[in-house]
Copies of this chain bind each other. A is one copy, B any other.
Amino acid sequence: MSAPDEPTVADLSEDELLARIFPHLPRGSRTLVPPGDDAAVVRAPDGRVVVSTDVLVEGRHFRRDWSGGEDVGRRAAAQNLADVAAMGAVPTALVVALVAPGDLAASWVSGLARGLGAACAPLDVGVVGGDLSGGPAVVVAVTVHGDLGGRAPVLRSGARPGDVVAHAGVQGRSAAGLALLLAGRGDADPGLVEAYLRPDPPLLAGPVAADAGATAMLDVSDGLLRDAGRIARASGVVLDLDEPSSAFAGDLERLADAAGLLGADPREWVLTGGEDHGLLATFPPGTVLPAPFRAVGRVLPVGSGAAGVLVEGREPDARTTGWDHFAT
């Protein structure tokens, strides 16, 4: 799994491996006790701490022939940081547990640290702790922390009829990048492949949305329809999305060439593609939407049907969206 002249994890002592990791990890200005003791201590000025954990497993969430260590580090950080942003909080610190097979190149591990650092340092997020173990596959478990700065957390359950549905970030690009890789045509659009390997969510938009009065929010990790359905059910409402041709015109245009190449439907990527980690939020009627949010639908009361998602007033068609309306 590594070049013959390159050391593997098994070739190094734990201290030698840590010496290749630590230089890449930002401390973060809120970190009071950095790694090296039994635990780290991080400022939580709000008096509440936002916490979320996500795990990436080789062969399930990434392939080592597609994703280098730095890609996985950036992705693990981004998807966790997006969970904090989606609560309306500012991320402050994360910790990482890494399980690595002995034949993993040590450079993959330092790449992972570099990727975590690249995602965290610009936000002043410290990487404040970790644990290393051997094991049969690469597993990266990240736990992220955030501070609400006095804001009320924005839950999934606060959407009310009349609210505007808004989205910040991109949709469908990660799915398109994955489709290109699966077809062996990653060369055709490296930008979309990068969107899959290294999602770049609009993290700062989370607290901005909270300040603007967002009533509900989440990050789109499993697809627009599916995640909109989660807000709808948690809030007991219907989210009626605009046709992607208007609401996501820019994404559709960006996806057109790749869709043409693969004979795919870009509308399906926009509606059902996950892992772009954009933010989907609802705002009270009349709210001047803060950038980069744009309106993509409206919240309706539950009528004769159940809480759920519509597109232009109609149930999404499984034939054209690939979406199972009944799955969660």
Binding site for B on A (CB under 8 A): 15, 32-33, 36-57, 59-61, 82-84, 86-87, 89, 93, 95-99, 128-131, 133-137, 139, 141, 143-146, 148, 153, 155-157, 217-219, 234, 328
Closest to A56 in B: B133
In the complex, are the beta carbons of B37 and A131 less than 8 A apart?
A: no
Query: A51 — which chain B residues lie within 8 A by C-beta?
Result: 39-42, 93, 95, 128-129, 143, 145
Cα–Cα, bound, A94→B238 (Å): 34
Closest to A328 in B: B15
Query: A43 — which chain B residues lie within 8 A by C-beta?
Result: 47-49
Cα–Cα, bound, A83→B37 (Å): 9
In the complex, are the beta carbons of A139 and B131 less than 8 A apart?
A: no
A-B contact pairs, 24 of them (CB 8 A): A33-B87, A37-B153, A37-B155, A38-B84, A38-B87, A38-B156, A38-B219, A39-B51, A40-B52, A44-B47, A44-B48, A47-B47, A51-B145, A53-B130, A55-B99, A55-B131, A55-B133, A56-B133, A57-B134, A57-B135, A95-B143, A135-B139, A136-B136, A139-B139
In the complex, are the beta carbons of A52 and B39 less than 8 A apart?
A: yes
Closest to A143 in B: B143
Beyond the given pairs A33-B155, A51-B128, 18 more chain A to chain B contacts, judged by CB atoms under 8 angstroms and listed by A's residue number, are: A15-B328, A32-B153, A38-B82, A38-B217, A39-B51, A41-B48, A42-B49, A43-B48, A43-B49, A44-B44, A49-B145, A51-B93, A53-B129, A54-B97, A57-B135, A59-B136, A60-B134, A97-B143
In the assembled complex, the CB of A49 is this many whole angstroms from the nearest CB of chain B, namely 4
Query: A37 — which chain B residues lie within 8 A by C-beta?
Result: 87, 153, 155-157, 218
Query: A45 — which chain B residues lie within 8 A by C-beta?
Result: 47
Query: A97 — which chain B residues lie within 8 A by C-beta?
Result: 53-55, 97, 141, 143
In the assembled complex, the CB of A253 is this many whole angstroms from the nearest CB of chain B, namely 29
Query: A133 — which chain B residues lie within 8 A by C-beta?
Result: 55-57, 60-61
In the complex, are the beta carbons of A39 and B44 less than 8 A apart?
A: no
Interface-central residue, A40, A82, A234, by most chain B CB under 10 Å:
A40
In the complex, are the beta carbons of B55 and A49 less than 8 A apart?
A: no
Determine which of B38, B41, B153, B328 lies in contact with A86 in the assembled complex, contact meaning CB atoms within 8 Å: B38
In the complex, are the beta carbons of A54 and B131 less than 8 A apart?
A: yes
In the assembled complex, the CB of A316 is this many whole angstroms from the nearest CB of chain B, namely 21
In the complex, are the beta carbons of B135 and A60 less than 8 A apart?
A: yes
Query: A218 — which chain B residues lie within 8 A by C-beta?
Result: 37-38
In the complex, are the beta carbons of A52 and B95 less than 8 A apart?
A: yes
Whether A96 contacts B53 in the complex (CB less than 8 A), given A39-B146, A135-B139, A153-B33, comes out as yes
Q: Which 8 A-B pairs have the closest CB atoms?
A: A141-B141, A39-B52, A143-B143, A44-B44, A55-B97, A38-B86, A97-B141, A53-B95
Cα–Cα, bound, A59→B136 (Å): 9
Query: A328 — which chain B residues lie within 8 A by C-beta?
Result: 15
In the complex, are the beta carbons of A32 and B48 less than 8 A apart?
A: yes
In the complex, are the beta carbons of B55 and A38 less than 8 A apart?
A: no
In the complex, are the beta carbons of B135 and A41 less than 8 A apart?
A: no
Cα–Cα, bound, A153→B31 (Å): 13
Cα–Cα, bound, A141→B53 (Å): 10
